Amino acid sequence: MSPEQNLLTKWRSLPKDKQEQVEDFVEFLYLKTSSSKPPLGERLRKLRAKIVASGEPLLTPEEIEKEVASRRGGFQDNE
């Protein structure tokens, strides 16, 4: 059995969520080694679509602002 066939056989035996993780990892490796990456905007749109499809709610503008501030060390919850 070729390496490709072996990989495909193992991939098919995984649950759907694990198959998606493998696809994400392969995509990551491909983009990391590819000499021509898609524009950042395109990659971000794909990521957003994936998050929406997963059912995970997107952050509100206020939540984004708090997240950015907290990562920069400036967020203080005064509520």
pLDDT at 79 over 80: no
User: pLDDT class for 76, splitting at 50, 70, 90?
Assistant: low
For the chain, the residue count is 79
CB 20 within 8 A of CB 14: no
Q: What is the pTM of this model?
A: 0.46
pLDDT at 13 over 90: yes
Q: How many helices (H) and strands (E) does the chain have?
A: 4, 0
In the chain, the amino acid numbered 25 is F
pLDDT at 57 over 70: yes
CB 41 within 8 A of CB 33: no
CB 53 within 8 A of CB 44: no
